[in-house]
Amino acid sequence: MEFLWDGLRQAVDLLLSGDDEVLGIVGVTLRLAFWSTLIALALGLPLGLALGLGRFRGRGAGLALANAGMGLPPVIVGLVVALLLFRGAPLGETGLLYTLEGVILAQAVLSLPVVVALTAAAVQSLPAGLLDQARAFGASRGAVALLALREARVGVLAATIAAVGSAFAEVGAVVLVGGNINGETETLASAVLVRVSAGEYGRAIALGIILLGLILILAAGLTLAQQHERRPLLGRPS
């Protein structure tokens, strides 16, 4: 157990001293989470709204595909994206293999079905008469979609946080697509794995503490948003 305490002390020293390597890894992780989530939201919110609001042929298959996509093994997604990015492959000329941009692409693919499925579920859970009433008053499709997005904002926030959390915790796709290059594509989760394998327990614990802290901040944000939405309901007279 002594090595654990030594590792914990090293972790505290690294965190308090603002170690450049640790800060660099945090920066890469935050950039990955931000851009991959932004791409997933840009593509996933319209798709989630269409599946949640629409009544068209193939809608059920689309919902099933989005739900199944939430369980995609990250290592398989990373493998497929890496194969597509190899020289001579369909996307080989982009030069994205072993770059942060390539990792962002792989993570966006992982996050997209999460955003689509959770957004569709949040929209479908809205009171049935709410959107019908808006349509009855002549609201356009765009206005109805914006209303649904606003009313389902907690569910959309949950989808956003799930996408960010996935980016924070991802290892397989990072290693396969980005090569886990120190200072370029190495993230908190992949760095913890490498440092433990190398016996650098202090750095591994420091990085793990930061990773857990970021995830706890995400969880706290979702909880506060949920509580904020419930207060008006609790204050209504019965």
Distances (CA, A) of 70 to 156, 161, 223: 15, 14, 22
Whether 148 is covered by a domain: the verdict is yes
Whether 56 is covered by a domain: the verdict is yes
Whether 100 is covered by a domain: the verdict is yes
Whether 7 is covered by a domain: the verdict is no
Q: Determine the pLDDT at residue 238.
A: 43
Q: Determine the pLDDT at residue 203.
A: 82
Whether 136 is covered by a domain: the verdict is yes
Q: Determine the pLDDT at residue 234.
A: 47
Whether 3 is covered by a domain: the verdict is no
pLDDT digits (tens, 9 = 90+) for 186-235: 999 999 999 888 888 878 888 888 888 888 888 887 778 767 765 554 44
Q: Determine the pLDDT at residue 229.
A: 63
Averaged over 100-118, what is the pLDDT?
95
Distances (CA, A) of 65 to 74, 102, 114, 229: 16, 24, 11, 30
**What's the CATH code of the domain at 30?**
1.10.3720.10
Whether 231 is covered by a domain: the verdict is no
Asked if the model's pLDDT at residue 28 lies above 90, the reply is: yes
Whether 8 is covered by a domain: the verdict is no
Q: Determine the pLDDT at residue 3.
A: 62
What average pLDDT does the chain have? 86
Asked if the model's pLDDT at residue 47 lies above 90, the reply is: yes
For the chain, how many structural domains are there in total? 1
What 3-state DSSP class applies to 59?
A: helix
Distances (CA, A) of 32 to 14, 68, 143, 156, 185: 23, 24, 32, 20, 9
Q: Write out the residue range of the structural domain in which residue 208 sits.
A: 20-226
Measured distance CA(189)–CA(174) in Å, rounded: 9
